[in-house]
Structure 1
Amino acid sequence: MADSTSGVRVRFAPSPTGKLHIGGARTAIYNWAFARATGGTFVLRIEDTDPERSTEENTQIILRALRWLGLDWDEGPEVGGDFGPYKQTERFDTYKAALEQLKERGAVYPCFCTKETLDAKREAAEKTEGGYSGYDRTCRSLSAEEAQARIDAGEPHVWRLKVPENHGPIEFDDAVYGHMSFPADVMDDMILVRTDGTPTYNFAVVCDDANMHITHVIRGDDHLSNTPRQILIYEALGLEAPTFAHLSMILGADGKKLSKRHGATSVEEYAARGYLPDTMVNFLALLGWSLDGETTIISRDVLCEKFGLDRITKKDAVFDETKLDWMNGQYIKTMQAGEWVKLSTPWLAQARAAGMAAAEGAVVVDAAEAELFALSDDEQAAAVAETAADIEARPAFYEALYPLLAERETSLSDAAEKLPYMFWGKNVVLDAKSVKKVLQKEGARADEALRACREVLANAEAWECDPMQEACRALCEPMGIKPKLMFQPLRVAVCGNMVSPPLFESIELLNREDVLARIDATLAVAF
């Protein structure tokens, strides 16, 4: 096998048939981290030979997802390199050259069996006791002269690998699974080149990995059954196989293979839901690998320094979204306010748009009506542009929003749901449940508390969080009202809901006139 300590070259080779899913993203992260930890080279190769499903649009989606994750590639699309091109559809000359080598070595033969013939043989074999055991090598016994004559006559044919007779077990040492052995006598003479001249997956992969000098193939264990077939191709070409490392599956919380029924499955979806790139890299890295069995928060720098194949487990990993939320919250807590504003701009734009759309004065809505209205793509783009300009005009205000959510936020998207009240101006959208439970609760004296707090805020000398909070708290004893019953009506009147980000910290960021107007509007409609 390839030397595991020098000149490490790894590759991530997605097929552009859709979005970059979580399993593929983890594979990319492992390859990238291993290259960085060993001082090696991370190659990105696009396997786009499926003409019906591979599209340039999907390629760009994958590249965007990798860039969002922060996985920079050393060779590949948009970067170049000494072993390109890096799209399979641009490498057909290399597959043709490899086939010629195999012909010269007598390692392949043309097969003229039609699909109908093969289907009939399969159907008949499946009715026998032994069942179907692969292609019966009908054309392997054809003389070179007959085979060439049929080729010259234009008869359609494929090229099959001539698996050596009496080949011993196909063995290799997998970096994750350990020593692996597969009986060669169950390997049929696989097709390497189809009738239209295009290579099959296993042939193209071996050619590409060999020509790109890949030393380690790190991929999902769904490819484990391909490995003995690929080793046979390496042997036929007279090449040394790379070191293989197969990764266990990622399962949902129900123990079944992660799929759409478990929710979001693509990197793009998690980005749209407000997860941070650093969170996703950290979280996915731990789905099958660990630093020391205990450490959970692992920076990119540490990952790129300490990652190794020896700590990858054979056990299937479970995608725990509760843990992902927790981890995202931990990363949010340690961000700089300016970085949070920059990354949160799409959701701040939604909050701002929702806030500015609030009806004049005070309006009471139920939970369903209060849900954030959906913006069309054009509206969202316009809202983001307007919000970006507003951020540039008053960065201190937006940075001051960060502490309101930092301790409680598990996703950047929380800003869209929790911050519209910061953009209501003099208006307020009151949650009907909060109005009933807080403002209209019998015996709570909510109207008295709200009027008393209004008086304090109207006359506050310093429009600052702590003095205003203490002045309102000082009302409790002489009025005989508990602090909770004093503050909750004010929270509803200012923030619209009995559950909101910190109250007085929010008030400090709002204009005095707006806060007083909201209180007045609430008093007018709720009592």
Structure 2
Amino acid sequence: MSVRTRFAPSPTGYLHIGSLRTALYAYAFAKNQHGTFILRIEDTDRNRFVPGSTEKIYDQLKLFGIIWDEGPLVGGPYGPYIQSERVDSGIYRKAAEKLVAQGQAFYCFCKPQTKDEIKKAHENKISQMRDTNCRNLTKVEVDKKITAGEKPAIRLKVPDNEVVSYFDFVVKKEITWKTEYVDDAMLLKSDGIPTYQLGVVVDDVAMEMTHIIRALEWLPSTPIHLLLFKYLGFKTPEIGHLTDILDPAGGKLSKRKGNVSTEDFINAGYLPEAILNFIMLVGWAPKDNREMFTLSEFVENFNPDGLQKANAAFHVEKLNWFNQQYLKKLSLTDLTDKLTDFTDTDKATIIKLLPLVRDRLVTLKDFDNLTDYFFQKPPLTQSLNQEVIKHAADTLEDKFDGKYLEEKARTYCAEKNIKVGDYFMNLRVAITGKSATPPLWDVMLILGKDETMERLEIWLPRKNN
């Protein structure tokens, strides 16, 4: 059978940068093996569902060039590919009832815990692996409750004193659990909606997945999935868990500490190609230590043996470096077009200013910060050498020419025992308000003589009439 991988996000908000990496690796593995990449939306948890987030997932994946072969919008032989649209087929209830009939699941009539109750249990470190209220109900007791109108959920009946294990093809080792530490997981809620635990297994089998690449956060669920594959008579796909992406301090990436969604980074002025190239290498290493990859080049070179066994760190400085490389590769026309989404500056002015600052752009948002002095006079907040400014103003009034100014400045500095660098720093700050700018004469040329002279003169004492 050819390789079939999937990306199966839940539409609960933004697309996390880690989820983009998961989708990328699953896509690259399938394409490298001439296989099929599937997108499946797991939206059965309606309490966490965020309207509009499904469409955002589509848009973001397309933006990064990760195009699915089967899934929503494109269809395929195993659809529908939105989990909530599969419920009415009865596929999940059929699987759950089969487990009950086999004695590997049981009806649960317990009232679901509220969020506060779950939180309190966590705070008190209460962990109940076994449902002692309903696990051992007799058939007579179950039938009586159902006849009385009670609607049961269905839970997995995890066996005692057994071992569950699998070989993780990413971290390259056998991972084992004792069943006494595996939860009697909820499989089907009383309203007939499957939980993640049941839905993901049933759908992975129905869609003939051969390899599952997913985040490390799903490792605790794996023994439940292994039992379900076994009890339902399904062949277990190859499973691999990607290591975590951590912040430089070793903590979990979080919104509180900075951008974590792909949309955040796009809105911050990062190019999709740069983000994608950066995230390729946060957890995967090529054999030749190469850094620059297009998506097609990455697919060609991708091998799961290159996936790192240790957690990877997210260094925004490295992302900045990638973004600079991709910005420099753009033509002035393409870069101008992209900048129009990040600045109110008109296109003609962008074209005029861009050659001065393009090599200093880290993100598209930097353009306004690097050019703001062209549109506003600097504040009179610094102490400058007024004699130097007057000399420069007189020189430029006499002849508005860069070479002429430099010649006169050097002569003046020699006479006054002033460093030439200090002379031009005073001039630069007086004109722009900044200590670092593109070549000063280039700035003055764009400002023009009248504006340049006006900016110099505001630093000089006013003449009495």
User: Which TM-score applies when normalising by structure 1?
Assistant: 0.76
Give the direction of change, closer, same or farther, for the CA distance of 1:524–1:473 in structure 2 (3 Å limit): closer
Q: Does the 8 A contact of 2:259 with 2:265 survive in 1?
A: yes
Q: How far apart, in 2, do the equivalents of 1:400 and 1:72 lie?
A: 37
Aligned partner of 2:441 in structure 1 is 504
Q: How far apart, in 2, do the equivalents of 1:446 and 1:505 lie?
A: 18
**Offset of residue 402 of structure 1:** 3.5
Q: How far apart, in 2, do the equivalents of 1:487 and 1:451 lie?
A: 15
Aligned partner of 1:484 in structure 2 is 421
Aligned partner of 1:97 in structure 2 is 94
Aligned partner of 2:369 in structure 1 is 417
1:230 paired with 2:225, answer yes
Q: How far apart, in 2, do the equivalents of 1:187 and 1:71 lie?
A: 35
1:447 paired with 2:384, answer no
Residue identity in the other structure for 2:435: M
Q: How far apart, in 2, do the equivalents of 1:161 and 1:429 lie?
A: 71
Q: How far apart, in 2, do the equivalents of 1:133 and 1:348 lie?
A: 56
Q: Does the 8 A contact of 2:393 with 2:453 survive in 1?
A: no
**Offset of residue 267 of structure 1:** 1.4
Aligned length: 446
1:29 paired with 2:11, answer no
Deviations 1:346-387 (A, max 9, x none): 2232xx2xxxxxxxxxxxxxxxxxxxxxxxxxxxxxxxxxx4
Structure 1: state its 5+ residue gaps. Answer: 1-5, 353-386, 458-467
Partner-residue secondary structure (3-state), 1:429: coil
**Offset of residue 251 of structure 1:** 1.3
Q: How far apart, in 2, do the equivalents of 1:67 and 1:421 lie?
A: 37
Give the direction of change, closer, same or farther, for the CA distance of 1:153–1:183 in structure 2 (3 Å limit): same
Q: How far apart, in 2, do the equivalents of 1:523 and 1:110 lie?
A: 84
1:408 paired with 2:360, answer yes
Of 336, 340, 355 in structure 1, the residue corresponding to residue 335 of structure 2 is 340
Mapping 1:12-411, distance limit 5 Å: 12-92=7-87, 93=89, 94-103=91-100, 105=102, 107-114=104-111, 132-136=128-132, 138-140=134-136, 142-143=138-139, 147-163=142-158, 168-177=162-171, 178-292=173-287, 294-349=289-344, 352=345, 387=346, 391=347, 394=348, 398-399=350-351, 401-411=353-363
Q: How far apart, in 1, do the equivalents of 2:296 and 2:354 lie?
A: 26
Residue identity in the other structure for 1:135: D
Residue identity in the other structure for 1:416: D
Partner-residue secondary structure (3-state), 2:154: strand
Partner-residue secondary structure (3-state), 2:166: strand
Residue identity in the other structure for 1:323: K
Residue identity in the other structure for 2:371: L
1:472 paired with 2:405, answer yes
Deviations 1:89-146 (A, max 9, x none): 1111231333344455554332334569xxx9xx99xx9xx98442237544523x55
Give the direction of change, closer, same or farther, for the CA distance of 1:471–1:71 in structure 2 (3 Å limit): farther
Q: Does the 8 A contact of 1:493 with 1:519 survive in 2?
A: no
Q: Does the 8 A contact of 1:418 with 1:501 survive in 2?
A: no
Q: Does the 8 A contact of 2:389 with 2:459 survive in 1?
A: no
Structure 2: state its 5+ residue gaps. Answer: 461-465
Q: Does the 8 A contact of 2:385 with 2:426 survive in 1?
A: no
Partner-residue secondary structure (3-state), 1:182: strand
Q: How far apart, in 2, do the equivalents of 1:96 and 1:487 lie?
A: 78
Q: How far apart, in 1, do the equivalents of 2:24 and 2:390 lie?
A: 57
Give the direction of change, closer, same or farther, for the CA distance of 1:347–1:239 in structure 2 (3 Å limit): same
Of 449, 453, 463 in structure 2, the residue corresponding to residue 520 of structure 1 is 453
Partner-residue secondary structure (3-state), 2:234: coil
Residue identity in the other structure for 2:92: Y
Partner-residue secondary structure (3-state), 1:291: coil
Q: Does the 8 A contact of 1:202 with 1:230 survive in 2?
A: yes
Partner-residue secondary structure (3-state), 1:98: helix
Partner-residue secondary structure (3-state), 2:399: helix
Partner-residue secondary structure (3-state), 1:339: helix
Partner-residue secondary structure (3-state), 1:222: helix
Deviations 1:391-435 (A, max 9, x none): 3xx4xx64454332232221111102112344x3xxx411434xx
Q: Does the 8 A contact of 2:377 with 2:455 survive in 1?
A: no
Q: How far apart, in 2, do the equivalents of 1:247 and 1:335 lie?
A: 33
Give the direction of change, closer, same or farther, for the CA distance of 1:404–1:233 in structure 2 (3 Å limit): same
Aligned partner of 1:430 in structure 2 is 378
Q: Does the 8 A contact of 1:160 with 1:193 survive in 2?
A: yes
RMSD in angstroms over aligned alpha carbons? 3.0
Q: Does the 8 A contact of 2:100 with 2:107 survive in 1?
A: no
**Offset of residue 291 of structure 1:** 0.9
Residue identity in the other structure for 2:70: E
Residue identity in the other structure for 1:60: E
Q: Does the 8 A contact of 2:37 with 2:68 survive in 1?
A: yes
**Offset of residue 61 of structure 1:** 2.8
Q: Does the 8 A contact of 1:493 with 1:518 survive in 2?
A: no
Q: How far apart, in 1, do the equivalents of 2:111 and 2:391 lie?
A: 89
Give the direction of change, closer, same or farther, for the CA distance of 1:441–1:477 in structure 2 (3 Å limit): closer
Residue identity in the other structure for 1:109: F
Q: Does the 8 A contact of 1:450 with 1:486 survive in 2?
A: no
Q: How far apart, in 1, do the equivalents of 2:369 and 2:112 lie?
A: 58
Q: How far apart, in 1, do the equivalents of 2:320 and 2:270 lie?
A: 8
Aligned partner of 2:463 in structure 1 is none
Give the direction of change, closer, same or farther, for the CA distance of 1:455–1:216 in structure 2 (3 Å limit): farther
Give the direction of change, closer, same or farther, for the CA distance of 1:83–1:252 in structure 2 (3 Å limit): same
Q: How far apart, in 1, do the equivalents of 2:41 and 2:199 lie?
A: 12
Q: How far apart, in 1, do the equivalents of 2:64 and 2:112 lie?
A: 44
Residue identity in the other structure for 1:498: S
**Offset of residue 240 of structure 1:** 0.8
Q: How far apart, in 1, do the equivalents of 2:379 and 2:64 lie?
A: 38
Deviations 1:147-179 (A, max 9, x none): 34543442231222344566x421211012221
**Offset of residue 469 of structure 1:** 3.9
Give the direction of change, closer, same or farther, for the CA distance of 1:419–1:114 in structure 2 (3 Å limit): closer
